[in-house]
Amino acid sequence: MKDMTQGSVTRHLLHMASFMAVSMVVQTLYLLADLYWVGRLGKEAIAAVGLSGNLMMVVLALTQMLGVGTTTVISHAAGRKDQASAEVAFNQSVVLSLVVGLLFGLCSFPLRNQYSQSLSADAPTAAMAVSYLGWFIPALMLQFPLVSLGSALRATGIIKPAVGLQVLSVILNMIFAPLLIFGVGPFPKMGVAGAALATFLSILIANILTIIYFEKSFRYLRFRVSQWGPRLKIWWSMLRIGLPAGAEFALMAVYIVVVYAIIRNFGAAAQAGFGVGARVMQAMFLPVIAVAFAVAPVVGQNFGGRRANRVRQSFYSAVGITTGLMVLLTILAQVAAGTFIRGFSKDASVIAFGSDYLQIISLNFVAMGIVFTSSSVFQGIGNTWPPLISSATRLFLFAIPAVIMSRMPGFHIKQVWHLSVASVLLQAIVNLLLLRREFRRKLVFPEADSIAPAGSASPA
């Protein structure tokens, strides 16, 4: 375990963010490589895989719920130097992840046909989406235990082993994808389903390797079957924190569904352009998201250790870093949007739609950095309701006007992107106001900053 209640908070943030960024870069290389190979199958295939992104947002919401709750509860215990409580919380998180993952599979797999047909622009796209989800849904089910294990490591400040294992699994994924998509050698030609099967195999390998690491090398948190009996009080302590954070991602999924529904009448090219543009934007956000992910455990340990000044310092340092990065990314998106989209599709209409999306949406990059960072601070403190309120406000102010505009004469898809930019800017302002209020209410520890840590542990 790494003690983050002492030493430079900026150094802790950069240390964790650097390894998280490596992990995210590798993961995005896989996503972009996957999109590249699928792009060789045509715009319908791109649109079909893009539709799976909506379902992935639902999984991100659920895993965010699990991951945030796990990280916060364990990091608070680590900050208090309470290893026993941290270990119990870890084992309960594993059990909860298995339960939620199974329920997700039972609910989503039987409905994949209806889901695909309801959102696809045409029959070929729907057929490919069904084929893709046949393996992609099982892959998503495996994400739940993997997120639980990774969140536990992040809460204790350990990041290197998880990154190494993920890099290995992603390399395997990048190898499997073209073999299974195009049927190279003894492998069957599966098309888009091959891309999903490659994802399933890589996540399965990642789970196995992570479990081996916990069993062989990690000593602070251990698997203990005796602690696997459901303890509803601990489940609730995680869900109370995680549910609002998961609901934030669920609202993002609603946002994507609303966008797909609105642009459906523009055809598969518009859906493909949006899908590619959104993937490129996610790739660009990696350094910023890495910093935001590092904030929660740093804030969590210091909040658990009752060190108010270090909690504030964590936020100020993180928001400064993310703002600088987002300014650079905004300039890059304005200058090279078309180049990014052309890397994944040669269709002129897809390039046009994707470029417009990326150039306009980049105007809210700085605001998004503030949203990411402030939301992570709320997670570290253990109160995730305020960012949920701001996210709900943003969706309400976006969705209703967007639907109304889409039914008016002369409607153009660019109007949706401009409206999205304005709603994110408002969300960032609301987040900052709520965070200032939270600092005044929660960071009141009369003797906190005079309490020396009980001791420090060296990183594994």
Structure confidence by residue, pLDDT tens digits, 201-259: 998 999 999 999 999 888 889 999 999 999 999 999 999 999 998 887 778 778 888 88
Q: Is residue 35 part of a domain?
A: yes
* pLDDT above 60 for 48: yes
Tell me the pLDDT tens digit for each residue of 368-388: 999 999 999 999 999 999 999
Judge whether 459 lies within some domain: no
Residue 432 has pLDDT above 90, yes or no: yes
How far is residue 335's CA from residue 19's CA, in Å, rounded to a whole number? 28
In the numeric block, which tokens belong to residue 332?
A: 């890059």
d(CA 324, CA 150): 28
Label each residue of 435-450 as H, E or C: HHHHHHHHCCCCCHHH
Identify residue 116 by its one-letter amino acid code: S
C-alpha to C-alpha distances, 345 to 46, 64, 282, 328, nearest whole angstrom: 9, 31, 17, 25
Q: Quickly list DSSP for 66-117.
A: HHHHHHHHHHHHHHTT-HHHHHHHHHHHHHHHHHHHHHHHHHHGGGHHHHHH
Does 458 reside within a domain?
A: no
3 lies in a domain? no
Count of domains forming the chain: 1
Tokens of 231: 């303890």
pLDDT band of 457, cuts 50, 70, 90: very low
Output the pLDDT for position 260: 81
Cβ(103)–Cβ(95) below 8 Å = no
17-26, 143-152, 298-307: which has the minimum mean pLDDT? 17-26
Q: What is the pLDDT of residue 27?
A: 66
> Residue 37's pLDDT is what?
80
Alpha carbon of residue 340 to chain centroid: 22
- The runs of H, that is alpha helices, within 264-307 are 268-284, 286-304
pTM of the model: 0.78
**Domain presence at residue 454:** no
Q: How many CA atoms lie within 13 A of 401 on its CB side?
A: 15
Which DSSP state fits 122? Answer: S
Specify whether the CB–CB gap between 88 and 234 falls below 8 A.
yes
Q: Give the C-alpha distances (Å, rounded to integers) separating 292 from 15, 18, 77, 145, 318.
A: 13, 11, 21, 22, 7
User: What's the domain range around 247?
Assistant: 9-444
Report CA dihedral (75, 78, 79, 81) to the nearest 10 degrees.
170
Long-range contact pairs involving 177-183 (C-beta distance under 8 Å, separation at least 24) = 177/30, 177/33, 177/34, 177/37, 178/37, 181/37, 181/38, 181/41, 182/37
Tokens 């479990």 sit on residue:
211
The answer to whether 356 touches 389, Cβ cutoff 8 Å, is: no
Nearest to 202 by CA among 236, 176, 184, 233: 176
| pLDDT tens profile 157-213 | 888 887 788 788 888 888 898 899 999 888 889 988 898 899 899 989 999 999 999
